Amino acid sequence: MMTLPELAAGALEKFLATHVSRTFGASQARFGELLPAAARIALECIGNSDALYHNVEHTMLVTLAGHDIIRGRALHTHVTAEDYTHTIIACLTHDIGYVRGLLKGDGPDGYVIDAAGNKVVLPRGSSDAGLMPYHVDRSKLYVLDRLEAVLPLDRERVARNIEGTRFPSPEGQHYDDEAAIVRAADFIGQLGDPNYIRKANALYHEFEEVGINRQLGYESPADIVDRYPQFYWNMVAPHIQGAINCLNMTASGR
């Protein structure tokens, strides 16, 4: 039986393979093999999630945003197949930590939340969104384990890129160019989605599971919509200007 995650994975797999082949040529065939395979694994894993918003579609949007940012950047800065692959894999896996049962230590006694093996037990009836406070660390743990023996990928590099999506970022934290691209792709893939406002209900219910609505004073999904401009200009815009410049350099990015 065909499923939507399977269809999405197949489409993205072909898209990335074609791009790597056309852009970087046969000399970089290894990356052309690794990246599509990583896309399929990531999307099929995320397809198992029951989180209402952070799902396969969100991951696709973030990955495609990252792709277009890099395409624009490549017009004025040298970008290698290695650079492209490490950035896109980070986009693909930046939210994979939401998926319960993903890590080897996950089990009936809880879900791993850090490198020390500490665990959290979610309340009865929770969805994968209950792991929101820990998902960045879990995503990093996943790639550090899953990519350990996958050459020529640098698992630490992918993990550093994923760290760029932590929100809010630690005060004084500086991100390198790749991590900044992944962070911008996460913002743009979410807030640039034409259907973002329609998804406010899903996001609101995810926030409700982890107490964010109370922290922000949201009483209904309408509050997410009403405060969208304020959130964008105060919290997002300062971090994506460089990426927007890159997007404006290509037709698909615009």
**What confidence score (pLDDT) does residue 149 get?**
78
**What confidence score (pLDDT) does residue 80 get?**
96
**What confidence score (pLDDT) does residue 230 get?**
95
**What confidence score (pLDDT) does residue 2 get?**
80
**What confidence score (pLDDT) does residue 171 get?**
79
**What confidence score (pLDDT) does residue 41 get?**
94
**What confidence score (pLDDT) does residue 254 get?**
87
Burial 142-160 (b: 16+ CB within 10 A, else e): bbeebbeeeeebebebbbb
**What confidence score (pLDDT) does residue 106 get?**
98
* Distance of alpha carbon 224 from alpha carbon 202, whole angstroms: 11
**What confidence score (pLDDT) does residue 179 get?**
98
pTM: 0.96
Contact 212, 87 (CB under 8 A): no
**What confidence score (pLDDT) does residue 43 get?**
96
**What confidence score (pLDDT) does residue 29 get?**
85
Q: Which long-range contacts (CB under 8 A, 24 or more apart) does 144-153 make?
A: 145/103, 145/104, 146/41, 147/89, 150/34, 152/30, 152/31, 152/82, 153/34, 153/85, 153/86, 153/89
**What confidence score (pLDDT) does residue 58 get?**
98
49: nearest Cα among 135, 128, 143, 124: 128
Low-confidence ranges of the chain (pLDDT < 70): none
